Structure 1
Amino acid sequence: MDTPGEDQSVGQVIDRLAEKFPLLERDHIRDVVNQEHQVFAGKPIRDYVPVLVERQAKIRLKEDAANPPVRPRAEASTGATSSGRDA
């Protein structure tokens, strides 16, 4: 069972990791932290959960930062050409 203090600490983990990985979207960071937090759901000892969550999330986010997903360019999704004219 999460405690209000644990939830607050996990929120602070998200804030710290968002500062550490400014090129990654905050939503992605939050998702990774929440996934890592779920690993500890139902475990009886809660004192170190935020520290363990931050450690595991940081490992995953370092990998994500080193291999960012390829996103289509805005003009490719709108169908416009580089000259601005239709072919």
Structure 2
Amino acid sequence: MSDNAAHNPIDAVIQRLSERFPTVPVERITAIVDEQLQSFEGARVTDFIPVLVEHETHDILRKEAVPAPISEATAAAAISAPQGDDNRPDPSEVERSREHTGLLLGDLDN
């Protein structure tokens, strides 16, 4: 499945979830993924469907099974990974600061 998973994002989702929930049969994971995919049928924007399907399926599986623990090496790598430039403002905050906020939201110039 790993070669095919590289070409099909849904297969990659199933593979990741089966690794995260090793006690759940792959058939069950596939059935949940298929069910979630059906909810997006007819969607105009399809770029994020695999991400949304993975998120929803993960939430369902968390209710049904205990996820596999994250290894110490994976946890250490996540902690030591660079998180980006902390001095850079969040783009949404920059955009929000350009808008008139009013007195209730802290704009005392009114």
1:37 maps onto 2:34 in alignment: no
Which residue does the alignment assign to 1:70?
A: none
The separation in 1 between residues aligned to 2:39 and 2:10, in whole angstroms, is 13
Q: 5+ residue gaps in structure 1? A: 1-6, 67-87
The separation in 2 between residues aligned to 1:37 and 1:61, in whole angstroms, is 15
Structure 1 residues 41-52: aligned runs within 5 Å = 41-52=41-52
The separation in 2 between residues aligned to 1:27 and 1:64, in whole angstroms, is 14
Structure 1 residues 4-23: aligned runs within 5 Å = 8-23=8-23
CA displacement, residues 19-67 of structure 1 (integer Å, 9 cap, x when unaligned): 000000010000001101111001110010000000000000111105x
Instruction: Give the number of the structure whose alpha-carbon radius of gyration is greater.
Output: 2
Matched residue of 1:42: which SS? coil
Matched residue of 2:65: which SS? helix
Matched residue of 1:34: which SS? helix
Equivalenced residue count is 60
| TM-score for the superposition, normalised by structure 2 | 0.52
Query: Which 4+ residue blocks in structure 1 deviate beyond 3 angstroms?
Result: none
Matched residue of 2:44: which SS? coil
% identity of equivalent residues: 33
Matched residue of 1:35: which SS? helix
The separation in 1 between residues aligned to 2:46 and 2:16, in whole angstroms, is 20
